[in-house]
Homo-oligomer: A and B are copies of this chain.
Amino acid sequence: MKPVSELRLDLVSNDWVVIATGRAKRPETFKEHKREKESVPPEECPFCNPNIIKQGVRYRINNPDGSWRVLVVDNKYPAFAKDGTPKIKKNGVNRTIDGIGFHEIIITQDHIKQLALFSNEQVKEVIDAYQSRYLSLMKYKFIKYIAIFHNHGKEAGASVAHPHSQLIAIPVIDPDLKWSIEGAARYFKRTKKCVYCTMIEQDKKDGRVIYENEKFLVLSPFAPIVSFETRVYPKEHKPYFEKMTEEEKTLFADALRVALCKLYKGLDDPAYNFYIHTSPCDDGDYSHYHWHLNILPKTATWAGFELGTGIEISTIQPEKAAEFLRKQ
């Protein structure tokens, strides 16, 4: 009898994931996860409200008429803000730090139009905003990591439907993230090679590449944490997202747009999260890291097994997911 599933090891983190081949689904069936369409009219949208610029404009790209088409402002309900001290405080045996940092939102003008349906030029302007804010905020001594992410759809945790990304600059690096970043260093120490460059070579051989341009690759990872996880990697070994050149940003925008558009078509406009994994901005040596962007379509709910064991289950093989997305 064939096994009902396969455990796959992530080469960077050593985390296990399950590919449930026994209950594998056809790619088309994942369309059932399409997101619920929301219907807040622009008049009630906080991001369409002209008062949005009172939240503190950090960056803007203007239209010829002076209105903004890309805007970065402080989050009205920040999870992190400038007040407080970066000192660790004792609380009996426990430890805390004030949540000092920055929490900004990156908004594009159209109330409905999502990144997947943007032009390359429009996506590039969003990337420009990410990079510009990253470069400004990394200068603060107490900032150790800058998270840039995008939540699309209520099912993926977006509380405002108007398309927007977020940037949260924080004073700590979580061990989960550190473990992955150090995984790249451990692999280099052992093999003298970048673990991501090595994985990408294998992804090419195994048919997990979905799209490529001159400088970027879009692929289905060998050990995905959700069905249809999709990643965008620079082809060359690059540790720092924020050091992208104009040419690189243009090609990254193309790769990201194509990835999102293929998911949009293939899964019928799913909810998703994406986030950038790049080197921390403390003073560590991250020359072994290889930055990338992860897209996690909301194809399942992590339940007791995933939460209790740390092992995620996918119901489609990444090789089949890649084959399906290549055709979209």
How many whole Å from A120's CB to the nearest CB in chain B? 22
**Contact among B6, B149, B222, B309 for A170, CB-based, below 8 A:** B309
Q: Is the CB of A301 within 8 A of B175?
A: no
Q: How far is the CB of A107 from chain B (nearest CB, A)?
A: 15
Q: Is the CB of A155 within 8 A of B301?
A: yes
Q: Is the CB of B81 within 8 A of A273?
A: no
Known contacts A4-B78, A172-B7, A157 near B23 by CB under 8 Å: no
Interface string of A85-107 (1 = CB under 8 A from B): 00000011111111110000000
* A199: chain B residues within 8 A (beta carbon): 93-94
**A275 partner, pick from B5, B100, B157, B304, beta carbons under 8 A:** B304
* Chain B neighbourhood of A309, CB < 8 A: 145, 147, 168, 170, 174, 176-177, 275
**Quick one: copies of this chain in the complex?**
2
Q: When each residue 144-168 of chain A gets 1 if its CB lies under 8 Å from chain B and 0 otherwise, what string results?
A: 0101011100011110000000101
Query: CA separation between A47 and B38, bound complex, in Å?
Result: 35
B-side contacts of A311, CB under 8 Å: 170, 172, 174
CA distance A151 to B6 in the complex (A): 23
Knowing A78-B22, A301-B155, A308-B294, the reply to whether A99 touches B5 (Cβ < 8 A) is yes
Stretch at the interface among A11-19, A57-65, A110-118, A260-268: A11-19
Residue pair B304, A79 in contact (C-beta under 8 Å): no
List residues of chain A with CB under 8 Å of any chain B CB. Answer: 1-9, 11, 13-16, 18, 20, 22-23, 77-81, 83-84, 91-100, 145, 147, 149-151, 155-158, 166, 168, 170-172, 174-177, 179, 198-199, 201-202, 205-206, 222-223, 273-277, 294, 296, 300-305, 307-311, 313
Q: Which residues of B contact A294 (CB under 8 A)?
A: 307-308
Residue of B nearest to A89 (CB): B6
Given contacts A98-B3, A309-B170, A311-B170, contact A304 B150 (CB under 8 A): yes
User: Is B2's CB under 8 angstroms from A83's CB?
Assistant: yes
In the bound complex, do residue B3 and residue A149 qualify as a contact, i.e. CB atoms below 8 Å apart?
A: no
Q: Provide a sorted-by-A list of 15 A–B residue pairs whose CB atoms are within 8 angstroms.
A: A3-B83, A4-B78, A4-B80, A9-B94, A15-B175, A18-B99, A92-B205, A147-B304, A147-B309, A149-B305, A149-B308, A158-B303, A174-B309, A273-B304, A276-B308
Task: Check B99–A157 contact: CB distance below 8 A.
Answer: no
C-alpha gap A136/B79 in the complex (Å): 47
Q: CA of A147 to CA of B313 in the docked complex: distance in angstroms? A: 14
Report whether B94 and A273 are in contact in the complex, using a CB–CB cutoff of 8 Å: no
Q: Compute how far the CA of A157 lies from the CA of B313 in the bound complex, rounded to whole angstroms.
A: 12
